[in-house]
Structures are given as structure tokens and as C-alpha cells.
Structure 1
Amino acid sequence: MKNQRIITEGALLLSIFIVLLLFTIFVPLLGMLSIWALPIPFILYTVRHGLKAGIFLLVGTLLLTLAVGLIMSMPLAIMFASSGLVIGYLLKRKLSSFVVLVGSTLTYITNILLIYVISIVIFDLNIVDSIEKMSSDSIKTAEEIMVAIGQENKDVIIAYENAMEVAIYIIPSLIIMTGILFSIITILVAKPIVKRFYSELPDAKPFREWNFPKSIIWYYIIVILLSFMQLEVGSSLYLVVINLQVLLELVLMIQGFTLIYFYFHAKGSGKGIPIAITVFAILFAPLLSIIRILGIIDLGFELKAKIANANKVS
């Protein structure tokens, strides 16, 4: 009887996944929302019935995806289904929210890399080469337009070329950041729904209380010093340095935002002001440098602890 119930539940969740997948593929506007719900059936099923049951559901889903003719959507199905499976398994083991985030992020990154490899091996399509070609074509087009209207500006063209070149070199960082972003969105969307069926979810530490290791500052200083060296563009060391710089600056920026949220929470100002600051900083990029400096100061001088102590005294 119990096995019958598990099978029935699996069939229902499998059907829900296929419907969500169809919406994601064929209804563009709704698909922008439904795509983040794709992992939920796997999270629920794995949390309730374990890893083995989750794997069976994954295999069944892939077979049904092929059966209904959605062959080209297989990478999408595998990416979000496997992420849901990993999240569900880690939640089942009652591991911390940080471990769940890391596990989900690594799953997304692995899938992105697999898609890249498959696109080269099977479809003879190198996404990086395609991006480079598109960038080169867009630069040529922009240059031709500027010449045609009599406003040729070599400095602008050179700056744009340099920006495109850097963008190609930081693709590893962009893949990692994409994995983190996908993981965060998946968890935020899934948590309220999963909590209704599984009450033993680990409590996540509030964003304002996040603190990265102090050693991040030293890593950042070393990377900055290395970046001042005349590294050969495209060399292995150059790629390592430029990608580490991007990732460490992202970490310090997040630390800066946590300080802002902590400060306004300590002052009892609610979330409105820090959210407004976040949106404004993202829209006005130069402010992100200030946020990053705040993150460095917070890690170096433990500003959150000082703010908390000041509130206790007052």
C-alpha cells in the first residue's frame, strides 16, 4: 500500500514537471516564471521518500521527456531536475542552508559545463567562439555606423573592444555566478512550497547576519597586487587573476550589502530603505564600489559587532 502511494505521488509530480516544462518552452512570458518551479517536484519527492526514489523519478522524467518529443529540452530538464534532486537530498539529511546552497550551485555549474561540452562534441557549436564572433561583428558594425555619420571615435571603439575581450576571459566567473544566482532563486521559490509539506527545513541565517571569512581580504589584496603586474593577456595566470578578482569583488560587495541590511535592522528602520539602496546601487554601478569598500571595512573591523554592542549600550 505504501509503495503504491509512493508510485502514485511520483506519477503526479512527474506530470506536474512535464506541464511546467511545456509552459517554460512554449509560453515565453509565463516560462520566465515556471522555469524556477521545475526543481520543486524533485525537491518534494526526494525530501519525502529519499534519494533512491528521487533518482527513479529523474530517470522516469527523462524517459517521458523523450517520449513526448521534447528532445531539445533535455538539457533544461536535466539541469533543473538534478538540482531539485540534490536540494531535496541535502534537505532530507537536515544539512545547513549553506551546504544546500553550495550543493545546488555546484549542480547548476556542472550542468552548464556539460551543456557546453555537449554543444561542442555533438552539435559542433562552440558557444564561446560564437560569442567572440558576435562581439567582433558588433564592433565592426558600430565602427561602420560611426564612420557613416561622421563621428568616428577610436577611443570608444578601443574601449569597447577591451571590454568584450575581458568579458570572454571572465566566462568562468560568469558561469560560477550564474550557478549561484540560479541556486538562490530556486531555493527562494521552492522553500515556501516545500515547507508546507515538510516542516523540518533548516532555518536559514538572515542575509544581514552573513559573514565571510576575514581571509577574503588577504586573498583580495594578493589578487590586486598580481593584477598590477604586466601579465600576458590570455595566459593561465592572467585568467586565474582576473576571474578571482571578479569573484572576490562579488563576495566583498555582498558583505557590504549585509552590513547595510544589518545597520538598518539594528536601527529598526525595516527593509524598505536597504532594499531601495540595493536597487539604486545595481542601477547606478559606481555605487557598487562603495558597497564593496563597506564590505572590506566590515570584515576588517567587525562593524556588525560594534553596531550590535552600541545598540546594547544605548
Structure 2
Amino acid sequence: MKLRWTSIAWSMAYLLLLLSLITSVRIIGMLFLIVPVVVLYSTLTLRQFIMHMVPVWLVALIIAGQAGLFLPILGVFFMIPGIVMGRMYKKFTPALRIIIAGGVTTLIELLVLLVAARAILDFSLGAYIRDVIEISVAPMQAMADVNPELNDILTPEYIIGLSNYTLMLIPCALIIASFTMAVITHAVSRPLLESMGYSVPRLKPARDWRLPSSMIWYYLIAVFLEFIASANMTGVLAAVVLNFMPLIHIAFTIQTIGFVFFWANYRKWNSFLPFLLSIVVVLIPPLRIIGILDLAFPLREYITRPKR
């Protein structure tokens, strides 16, 4: 009976998150929308899971009316990565593989969604981005009478260039968004499932986070390509570099955080201190050089090497 009422409560949470997609907090709702699906799929049989999902979609459609015709579609959309992650939780797959699978599944779905929107609704992502940028710079253009220098900056060529630059970064944005949702889903779902009595795989402790050593070569290649592409930032090579560099910077930031936790554990610092330092690492991007050095040179082995 306890499990039954818990499942109903999670179905209600899923309904509220679905309805949040037609409100001003849709971004927050979207980040957590997979969580109820993972919890329900991990704790129910397939038949029970479907019996919980279908009523939620119908109620969402009824409450939202015509404005919510897309809610069942989004429900199915976010259900798929939830099922993938939930199924892997049941098999006690390593946590990192679960996050990667959830992120890749979400990314593939986003790409399919963009292609379908283009084919069915004639949706142009480039035109949409240009419209958003024009709306964003409109208040600044209105200030041109007060500050004439803005006219020299906010030229039509500048707006077009900014639109093209933003469009080139869409692949990177989709990758970051997909894996952010997967990480948030795991971070929230794991303790919830454990509190319900289910055994769930955990990530390695932060002090053990280490990238493959080959990432150094990828980074050097990316830096070299960035140098070559700097003279032609509109080419395909520039687009590849623009999307790859932010991702590898994030990777080395994670490596730096891992080193911070390793050092704190080695020095037996207060457990709160590495969390505070990790925030500093995120807020000051150049500190990722620590992660690069940690990967390029055996810093951890040097630190723990017995002194003669």
C-alpha cells in the first residue's frame, strides 16, 4: 500500500512538472521532468508504469486545453530517457554509464525533434535565433538616442554576425543541455530511490574523478585548430572548434574539481572546504589549468609518493 501511494504521489509530481511547461517556469520544470519517470519505472512493472503514465498525459491535456496539445508529446519525449535510465538502475549498471546513456538518448531526441520541426512545421532554427537576438538588442537600440555610440556597435552586420555565431554554438548547447538533464536526474533520483529502499549505483567519489590521459592530446589538437581557424571564424573548422573547446574546458574543470577533492582528502581538510573550492574553480575558469597539469603530469602520484 505504501508503494502504491508513493507511486501516485510521483505521478502527481510528474503531472505538475508537465503543466509547468506551459508556465514561466518551464525551464526549471524541464530540468526535473525526467526524475518522476525514472523513479516510477525503477519501482514499478512495465504494465503498472504505463497505467500511471497514460492518465497523467490525459489529465494534463484536459487541464491545459488547446494550449497543452503538445504536453503528451513532450511527456513521451522525456519518458524515453527516463525509461533508459530506469532500466539501467534496475540492472545496477555503473552510474557513469547511466548518465552517459541518459545524456546521449536526450541528445538524439533533441536532434530528432529539430529535424521533425523543420520537416513538419517548417521551423527554422536560424530564423528563430535571429528573432530572439533582435528582440534582445531592441532595448539597447532604443537607447541609441541617448548614447549614439551604440549605433556604431549595433549595426545590422553585427546582429547578423552574432546570430551566425550563436547558431554555430547550437551543437555544444544541445550537448550541455542533454547531459545537464541526465546529471540532475541522477543526482535527484539516486537518493530518492535509496530512501525508498532500492539499491542504486553511485558515482565514484569526487577525489577519484580522472579523465583519460588521451584528453591532453585532444586539447592540444583543439588549441592548434583554434589557432588555424581564428583567421576564418565562419568556416566548418571554426564551427567544430567553437563547439569542442567549451566541452573540453568543462572536462578539465571537472578534472580540477577531482584534484581539489583528492588534495583535501589527502590533507584531511574539513569536508566542506573542497565544496567551497569547487565553486571557486567553476567561477574562475582559468583555474582549470590545474586539471590540465594534473592530467599531463602525475601530480597525484607525486603528492602521495613516499618521501625518502
Task: Specify the code of the residue in structure 1 equivalent to 2:210.
Answer: N
Instruction: Give per-residue Cα distances to partners, 1:159-204, cap 9 Å, x unaligned.
Output: 8876654332111011101111111111111111111335321232
What is the match of residue 12 of structure 1? 8
Look up the match of 1:168. 167
Aligned to 2:262: 262
Partner Cα separation in structure 2 for residue 136 and residue 41 of structure 1? 37
How far apart are the structure 2 equivalents of 1:200 and 1:48?
11
Range moving further from structure 2, 85-94 or 200-209: 200-209
Q: Equivalent residue of 1:228, what SS?
A: helix
Q: 1:253 corresponds to which residue?
A: 253
Structure 1 partner of 2:295? 299
Letter in 2 for 1:196: S
* Offset, 1:229: 1.5
CA 1:237–1:288: 2 relative to 1, 3 Å: same
Residue 176 (structure 2) aligns with: 177
Q: Secondary structure at the match of 2:268?
A: coil
Between 1:109-118 and 1:174-183, the stretch displaced more is 109-118
The answer as to whether partners of 2:210 and 2:255 remain within 8 angstroms in 1 is yes
Aligned 8 A contact 1:223 1:245 in 2: yes
Q: Which amino acid aligns with 2:289?
A: I
Secondary structure, counterpart of 2:126 in structure 1:
helix
Structure 2, gaps ≥5 residues long: none
* 2:40 aligned partner: 45
2:256 and 2:160 map into 1 onto residues whose CA distance is: 31
Counterpart check, 1:214 vs 2:213: yes
Query: Which runs of no fewer than 5 residues in structure 1 stay unpaired?
Result: none
- What CA deviation, in whole Å up to 9, does each residue of 1:116-153 have, x standing for no partner? 23433344332332112332454565356245324448
C-alpha displacement of 1:279: 3.1
Structure-1 residue corresponding to 2:106: 108
Q: Taking structure 1 as the reference length, what is the TM-score of the superposition?
A: 0.79
- Gap change, CA 1:78 and 1:56, over 3 Å in 2: same
Q: Distance in 2 between matches of 1:135 and 1:201?
A: 43
- Bigger shift: 32-41 or 268-277? 32-41
**Against the structure 1 CA distance between its residues 150 and 21, is the aligned structure 2 distance closer, same or farther, given a 3 Å change threshold?**
closer
Root mean square deviation, CA, Å: 3.6
Q: Which residue of 2 aligns with 1:201?
A: 200
Q: Following the alignment from structure 1 to structure 2, what is the Cα–Cα distance between the partners of residues 52 and 140?
A: 52
* d(CA) in 2 for partners of 1:153, 1:306: 56
User: Counterpart in 1 of 2:235?
Assistant: 235
Q: Does 1:124 align with 2:118?
A: no
Please, which moves more after superposition, 170-179 or 60-69? Answer: 60-69
- Residue matched to 1:90: 88
Cα deviation per residue 1:89-123 (whole Å; 9 max; x = unaligned)?
01112211111000111122123223323433344
TM-score with structure 2 setting the length: 0.80
Change in Cα spacing, 1:223 to 1:159, as seen in structure 2 (3 Å) is: farther
Contact 1:21 1:77 in 2 (8 A): no
Comparing 229-238 with 198-207, greater Cα deviation is found at: 229-238
Residue 40 to residue 136, structure 1, CA distance change in 2 (3 Å): closer
Question: Partner amino acid for 2:285?
Answer: L
Distance 2:159 2:261 in 1: 35
Q: Sequence identity of aligned pairs in percent?
A: 22
